[in-house]
Structure 1
Amino acid sequence: MKTLLLNKEDVGRLIHMREVIETVEEAYKAFNSGQVTQPPYTCIHLPPPRGEIDFKLSHCEANEIISMKASSGGFPNNPTEYGVPSGMGTVLLFDARTCALICAMDGSLLTGLRTGAAGAVSVKALARKNAKTVASIGTGNQARMQIRAIREVMQIETIHAWDHHPETLAQYQVDIEREFGIPVVAARSKQAAVEQADIIVTTTRGKGSLVEAAWVQPGTHIVAIGTDTYGKQEFEPEIFRGAKIVNDSIVQCVEKGETWHPLNRQIIRREDIHAELGEILLGKKPGRETDNEITIFDSTGMAIQDNTTAARIYRNAIAGQVGTAFEFIPS
């Protein structure tokens, strides 16, 4: 049998953001419909200045695909010392009926796409319908991806952006305004950005509270992306008190997500978590119910998102005869 090989350029031209948003919605619904097997993901932390590598695995009954993704990040010396990116990813797809390897594809772009789409799906389900202003805390690649996705589900009038690094913030402002024509305000402080926001998006590798509770206005929707493993944090835990808390996976978020911090401080109890996002998409639980409530989407990232997105890319590649086929397993 033949196995398809897809590089980063192939992946980029085989799927667009609207499709990714659809596949991520499929993933959340499948997860909360009992159609997904998703073991806990594992993470190997390497000594500084190196970062970590995550391994995520899932099976989706709806598409009969098993996916396995390895994704690394936080290797700042890679470009200069080794000539490779600071973060990389690889996805393997197996036909669940035979467990034969059917596709190997670049996973770095896929991870960015499906993570951006996750934020957009949460905005559709939880943000106020009249939301217009976004605060971007962090202005790296994933911050850009969040805007690419969110603009597909709402009209963004203004972005208030902040970053530790002024040069990164300045480049973000240029890039976003050129690509989308959305005005970007380079905020003088985190507080100045957050206080203006209908939607707060955080995409940093934070190790402490970046956003304080006093800054968050009633009716704000928070998209918490950066905290996806032990030791990371972006929000003052007090923000969770009285908020509507939605996780992608409760099991993951209470152990490795932003939700762990208020639980650890006993600001909230596990039963204070309102829902998983798939439950809201399926109509099992309500989304936003008033214009004044603060909603929080804590996303640790799930293997099933990789599964459904990679499966769509694979189907598009087969239909378009894209990629390189090789005999991994001789017939």
Structure 2
Amino acid sequence: MLIVPEREIADLMTRDAAFAAVEQVFAAMAADKAYNFPVVREAIGHEDALYGFKGGFDRAGLTLGLKAGGYWPNNMDKRGLINHQSTVFLFDPDTGKVRAMVGGNLLTALRTAAASSVSIRHLARKDAKVIGMIGAGHQATFQLRAALEQRGFEKVIGWNYHPEMLPNIEKVATEAGLPFAAVDLPGMAEADVIITITSAFAPSLLAEHVSPGTHIACMGTDTKGKQEVEAALLARATVFADEIAQSVSIGEAQHAIAEGLLQEADIAQLGAVINGTHPGRKDAAEITLFDGTGVGLQDLAVAAAVVDLAVAQGRAIEVDF
């Protein structure tokens, strides 16, 4: 078995490599060449933690495995650790034998950012100039860096439940040479692209906060009950998902469907746009929304890529198991 520790990931996995891996997985899913297993995600009744498993099998890439981990909201305050903790396990699809164990914390941030940036590349208007961020935590900085590479953005605006955290994303904007402005939620109407990346259980972004032609990437809702945007916004938008089954069960679509504002048949796979079997954005006034729940195949794709890089560079640890 190969081990690629968390400490090695930053020097091995790039944003470009993560983008390519995630884009290929979305395309394979839409072509029925890859599928995700049902998600297990539970509140464990200890440390307010959510813990679970995501897995799948990509026949095209012959990648089989799972990610185990979750969200420990007290980690940073109590222990100086990031709140999201995870590990990816890869298996040989021919034999079932374990192939690799890979640190999943940074990979999760990179693959989540890659997913939203894939949606921006394929769905946002080409002339998008202002990007809005709802959320300013650890993952938000990854989201913003990846998103800024997809369009010629000229300004970043941001809102967060805890305004004192906004300097996190202001720093990223400054590094990119872009002005940053903190706004109230109605101020998001200025944005051409909006990324939501919070752990909220109540909507912050309302339909009235979004202008025609905006692309929204909803990246924080991945559990029953979570919600970042008003259900009415999905009714206004053309909705795309990483996986439709997860979108309707644990994503933003769960609320719009429950309120009778959206049907499962109204949701398209982002991979279909990548494959050219769905037209994607139809015109400059259309609101598009990507419901990114995070699928196990994303984790497996980036983990498999990092294992290959680690082996090539002699940085993987091999153990008998």
TM-score with structure 2 setting the length: 0.96
- For 1:32-111, what aligned pairs fall within 5 Å after superposition? 32-47=30-45, 49-76=47-74, 78-79=75-76, 81=78, 84-111=81-108
Unaligned runs of 5+ in 1: none
Match of 1:191 in 2: 186
- Counting aligned pairs with the same residue, the percent is 33
Are the structure 2 counterparts of residues 15 and 81 from structure 1 closer, same or farther at C-alpha, using a change threshold of 3 Å? closer
Contact 2:144 2:169 in 1 (8 A): no
Name the aligned partner's letter for residue 208 of structure 1: A
Which of residues 276, 280, 295 in structure 2 aligns to 1:287? 280
Contact 1:27 1:304 in 2 (8 A): yes
- For 1:220-299, what aligned pairs fall within 5 Å after superposition? 220-273=214-267, 275-299=268-292
Q: Distance in 2 between matches of 1:177 and 1:199?
A: 15
Q: CA deviation at 1:177?
A: 3.5
Match of 2:302 in 1: 309
Are the structure 2 counterparts of residues 46 and 252 from structure 1 closer, same or farther at C-alpha, using a change threshold of 3 Å? same
Q: Distance in 1 between matches of 2:265 and 2:57?
A: 28
Match of 1:8 in 2: 6
Q: Distance in 1 between matches of 2:169 and 2:124?
A: 24
Q: Distance in 1 between matches of 2:36 and 2:86?
A: 19
Which of residues 173, 177, 180 in structure 2 aligns to 1:181? 177
Are the structure 2 counterparts of residues 222 and 80 from structure 1 closer, same or farther at C-alpha, using a change threshold of 3 Å? closer
Q: Distance in 1 between matches of 2:298 and 2:110?
A: 10
Q: Distance in 2 between matches of 1:225 and 1:81?
A: 26
Q: CA deviation at 1:83?
A: 5.9
Q: CA deviation at 1:101?
A: 1.4
Name the aligned partner's letter for residue 319 of structure 1: A
Name the aligned partner's letter for residue 62 of structure 1: A
Q: Secondary structure at the match of 1:155?
A: coil
Q: Distance in 2 between matches of 1:134 and 1:80?
A: 30
Match of 1:165 in 2: 162
Q: CA deviation at 1:316?
A: 0.8
Match of 2:314 in 1: 321
Q: Distance in 1 between matches of 2:17 and 2:150?
A: 12
Residue 128 (str. 1) matches residue 122 (str. 2): no
1:201-223 CA-to-partner distances (Å, cap 9, x unmatched) read 10011111201111110000010
Q: Distance in 1 between matches of 2:204 and 2:109?
A: 22
Name the aligned partner's letter for residue 134 of structure 1: I
Unaligned runs of 5+ in 2: none
Q: Distance in 1 between matches of 2:83 and 2:237?
A: 35
1:10-46 CA-to-partner distances (Å, cap 9, x unmatched) read 1111121011101001100111122213211110112
Contact 1:158 1:182 in 2 (8 A): yes
Q: Distance in 1 between matches of 2:105 and 2:94?
A: 27
1:37-95 CA-to-partner distances (Å, cap 9, x unmatched) read 3211110112375120120111111222212101211431x345456432211001111
Q: CA deviation at 1:9?
A: 2.3
Match of 1:138 in 2: 135
Q: Distance in 1 between matches of 2:312 and 2:115?
A: 26
TM-score with structure 1 setting the length: 0.93
Name the aligned partner's letter for residue 268 of structure 1: L
Name the aligned partner's letter for residue 22 of structure 1: A
Contact 2:36 2:296 in 1 (8 A): yes
- For 1:200-211, what aligned pairs fall within 5 Å after superposition? 200-211=194-205
Q: Distance in 2 between matches of 1:323 and 1:180?
A: 33
Name the aligned partner's letter for residue 304 of structure 1: L
Contact 1:42 1:54 in 2 (8 A): yes
Which of residues 25, 29, 38 in structure 2 aligns to 1:27? 25
Name the aligned partner's letter for residue 245 of structure 1: V
